[in-house]
Every structure is written in C-alpha cells, then in structure tokens.
Amino acid sequence: MDFNGSDTIPGPRTEDQLPHTAQAAVKIVIVGGFGVGKTTMVGSVSEIRPLTTEETMTQAGIGVDDDYGSDSKTATTVAMDFGRISITDKLVLYLFGTPGQERFWFLWNGLFEGALGAVVLVDTRRLEVSFDVMGRLEERGVPFVVAVNSFPDGPRYPVEDLRTALDLAPDVPIIDCDVRRRASSKDVLMTLMRFLHSIALSGPRT
C-alpha cells in the first residue's frame, strides 16, 4: 500500500466522489485529549475539504473544560472532524476526529461504531489525559496505535519509557509525528494499517 502525494496540504478535489474502482472503505477514528492535534491531522491528510464542527471557545467553558493551551487555542471540536484519503485505487479510509473536551465524550460511542482501528494522539506534556482515551478503545476492542505529536516545548522520552508510562502492550506501535505535515500524518495512518494487517494475519488478540 502506498500513498501518493507531497507534503503540501491538498485543496478540495473538483469532484469529491469516490474513484469508481473503490471496493472497500475503512472507518478510522483519531482520538486524544483537548488540543493534541486531531483536527489538524484530519485537515493535513484529507484529500477532500474536511468537515469540521469547531466552535469558538467561550467564558462558559472556564472551570468545566480542559483549558491547557487555551491562551493560543480559540476553537474546539464539539462533535467530530471528518476527512477521507484513498490508500489505493481500491481502498479508502474515512477519518473521524473525536472531540477532545471531556464533556463531549458521550459522542465517542457513536463515532466508535464500525471503526476498524484508531490513532491515539499523545502530547508528552499531558500523558495522563491519554489513559481514559485508551481505556475506552480497549473496552470496545478497537485496535490502536499511539502517535506522539511533536510540540516545541514537549519533553522527549525513549519509546520504551513511553510504553511503560502508558502501560501499552508490547505489540502496540508508537510513532513520532508532526500532524501539521501531510507526510507525517500519512506515516501514522500507514503504521495503523500495517498493524491492523498483522492482527488480521495473527488472529484475534487475547
């Protein structure tokens, strides 16, 4: 499997219809805490203009929402982000970014329905917010990979230290990424697809 394209964020296609050769569509969810880069990732990699449900952050959220980084973040996803990318002429991924604010997590159950796999975006400055996210995926039996999004002031840790801190199984992939870059976001999705393929070959996980 191979993505074709450059690092340039693509604009909308003249036609948003699927290629006539498409035979399979796979639903992928992109999850994580507030401000980890979910909307940015969907926007950087989607081959169609992404659908977003961002709303301006207001004073009403003070004391209720996670306000980490709110000095530079002015909007937040309240329902979902949606994008699409063709892996091959026959295989298409539908990308669903989940809302990060905890008060909107009740929407996750619907977004998880029918998902083949997930990307968990992690901010090393706030590893603790990842535990509930991964716990929900594990409860629903959704396989996932962990993508560590690069922030300028984010500490860097060896992969095995991160695996221990996040209590991850030995086979769960961990990959560094910069979700602003299309190529980096593509690498994350390809890592997930390879992981799902290995699961399919080895049989159900115990």
90-107 confidence digits (pLDDT tens): 888 999 998 856 655 556
Q: Domain coordinates of the chain in residue numbers?
A: 24-200
Residues 75-89 have pLDDT tens digits of 544 457 899 998 877
Q: What is the pLDDT of residues 127-168, one digit of tens each?
A: 998 998 899 899 989 999 999 999 999 999 999 999 999 999
Which of residues 195 and 55 earns the better pLDDT score? 195
Give the whole-angstrom CA distance, residue 19 versus residue 41: 23
Residue 110, Cβ density class (10 Å: 0-12 exposed, 13-18 middle, ≥19 buried)? exposed
pTM confidence score = 0.77
| 70 pLDDT tier (thresholds 50, 70, 90) | very low
The alpha carbon torsion through 75, 36, 45, 189 (nearest 10 deg) reads -150
Predicted confidence band of residue 68 (pLDDT cuts 50, 70, 90): low
Task: List Cα–Cα distances, 152 to 60, 125, 176, 181, 195, in angstroms.
Answer: 29, 11, 13, 15, 28
Q: Hey, what CATH class is 24-200 in?
A: alpha beta
Q: Could you tell me which of 191, 175, 68, 74 has the C-alpha nearest to residue 129?
A: 68
Percent of the chain with pLDDT over 90: 51
pLDDT tens sequence across 175-199: 999 999 999 999 999 999 999 999 9
pLDDT band at 2 (very low <50, low <70, confident <90, very high): very low
